[in-house]
Amino acid sequence: MAVTGTDPDTAPAAWFHMDAMRTALALVVAFGHLWGLLIEDYAGSQSIPVRAAYFLAGFAHSAVILFFVLSGYWITRSVVARAGRGWSWSGYLTDRLARLGIVLVPALALGGLLDWIAYYPLNLATHHDLTHAWVLTQDLSHSLTPTALAGNLLFLQHLFVPPFGSNGPLWSLAFEFWYYLWFPALWLSLTRRRLSLALPVLLITLANPELAFGFLSWMCGALLYFAEQRARRARWQAPNWAAPLAALLCLAALVWGRTGDFSIEDPLEAACFALFLFTLLRSTPRRWSVLRPFAAYGARASFSLYATHFPVTAFVAGLAVGDRRWAIDAEALAVAAGILVLVVSVGWGFAALTEAHTGSLRRWLHSRIARTGTGQAA
């Protein structure tokens, strides 16, 4: 999710496609949540196209798991490179917190404002759980509080406090933050053959076992990095048929995982996606010009879209549906399409104001830390 963006015009072709995937995955998440807020629950005995639409709307969680794989790959790449140059926890954490915070803090502000307006002055049924939308399970009287806000700023949502306001998807951002600490702590302990002082952060998993289970999926991205590096050194190239075959395997795993709760679908989907990415990285895919806008959006705004889409969607959908979600028809689909375009546009504009300035924030933070260190040394 919150991985560093690349330039779609200069990045390797595989990275270009990975950035386009980030947009696709963010859209899948946004579509699934929009569907749950706007459209009534599936009641069976409907046409095949309608049943297919409900089926497609159920892939939001799987999309987050695939995001974990992409994050694991990019963060592992960064950690290994930093360790090779000489590890600095302060430098690493400054960069990670800048990347996360520049989006998270204003996203919490925007979401909190929209949720407060919806819950109090407008008294929207959606935000009071009167429409029984399964994607909005938080009680806003408990989640729209200073305590929840402080916990979210410390990446403790879904562990000790609820995600702030209606923004349930922020659970994965907390998971990501702790994985950003876990992996370098484990990697440095392994490569330096001495225990890292950061290892105690692993104890945070006692707050929620789901955190450790999600790490299995995230580590598929780490294993992808090491496998790709080994194949690169061996100069192994994937045959032309490998990526399409791996893509079909990944699709089959996703469809299978959608048919029930099997407890193992998350790491299985992650492993299949990592295999597909491995074949993509070790081949020479074409840069499809039609994908360039998706790659650009994925590199520059997919994180912002993910962080802001839910409160914006909940607010607009709450205004639209009143006290009862809609049956699926042409009007409902048109409204859904309009809301999706709106949240994508908000994500792009939000990114221009926030994550586009990540580099500047990092440089400022590093300069402040350097000046503080110089002052203390003096």
pLDDT digits (tens, 9 = 90+) for 1-58: 666 556 777 779 999 999 999 999 999 999 999 999 999 999 887 788 899 999 999 9
Least confident of 97-111, 153-167, 193-207: 193-207
Closest by CA position to 347, among listed 177, 28, 5, 107: 107
- Measured CA to CA in angstroms, residue 135 lies from 41, 148, 329, 335, 337 at distances of 11, 19, 21, 18, 18
Question: Could you tell me which residue, 45 or 157, shows the higher pLDDT?
Answer: 157
Q: Which residue has the tokens 């503080």?
A: 372
Please tell me the predicted confidence (pLDDT) of residue 221: 98
Please tell me the predicted confidence (pLDDT) of residue 99: 97
Count of beta carbons in the 10 Å neighbourhood of residue 206: 10
Determine the residue type at 355.
E
Q: Helix crossing, 146-153 with 89-119: angle to 10°?
A: 150
What is the three-class DSSP state of 157?
strand
Across 264-278, average pLDDT: 98
Closest by CA position to 166, among listed 142, 193, 187: 142
CA distance 40 to 170: 24
Going by C-beta distance under 8 Å and a sequence separation of 6 or more, which residues neighbour residue 196? 184, 185, 186, 188, 189
Please tell me the predicted confidence (pLDDT) of residue 51: 92
Please tell me the predicted confidence (pLDDT) of residue 377: 47
What is the three-class DSSP state of 39?
strand
Please tell me the predicted confidence (pLDDT) of residue 5: 59
Q: Mean pLDDT of all residues in the chain?
A: 94
What is the three-class DSSP state of 110?
helix
Across 262-276, average pLDDT: 96
Please tell me the predicted confidence (pLDDT) of residue 150: 98
Confidence of residue 146 (pLDDT cuts 50, 70, 90): very high
Q: Does the structure show a pLDDT above 50 at 166?
A: yes
**Model-level pTM?**
0.95
Going by C-beta distance under 8 Å and a sequence separation of 6 or more, which residues neighbour residue 354? 102, 103, 106, 304
Are 49 and 153 a contacting pair, CB within 8 Å? Answer: no
Question: Which is it for the CA torsion 142, 146, 150, 152, positive or negative?
Answer: positive
- Measured CA to CA in angstroms, residue 373 lies from 87, 197, 349, 368, 376 at distances of 17, 21, 36, 9, 5
Least confident of 110-114, 223-227, 269-273, 287-291: 287-291
Please tell me the predicted confidence (pLDDT) of residue 37: 98
Q: Does the structure show a pLDDT above 60 at 378?
A: no
Per-residue pLDDT tens digits for 306-330: 999 999 999 999 999 999 999 999 9
In this structure, what DSSP letter does residue 325 have? Answer: P
Please tell me the predicted confidence (pLDDT) of residue 46: 75
Q: Does the structure show a pLDDT above 60 at 205?
A: yes
CA distance 7 to 349: 18
Across 185-211, average pLDDT: 91
Tokens of 305: 């879209």
Q: Helix crossing, 209-233 with 60-85: angle to 10°?
A: 60
- The residue ranges of every structural domain in the chain are 13-377
Q: Could you give the percent of the chain with pLDDT greater than 70?
A: 97
- Measured CA to CA in angstroms, residue 213 lies from 2, 68, 217, 253, 265 at distances of 20, 12, 8, 18, 11
Per-residue pLDDT tens digits for 83-138: 999 999 999 999 999 999 999 999 999 999 999 999 999 999 999 999 999 999 89
In this structure, what DSSP letter does residue 146 have? Answer: H
CA distance 197 to 29: 36
Ramachandran area for residue 292 (φ above 0: left; ψ -120 to 50: alpha; else beta): alpha
Please tell me the predicted confidence (pLDDT) of residue 122: 98
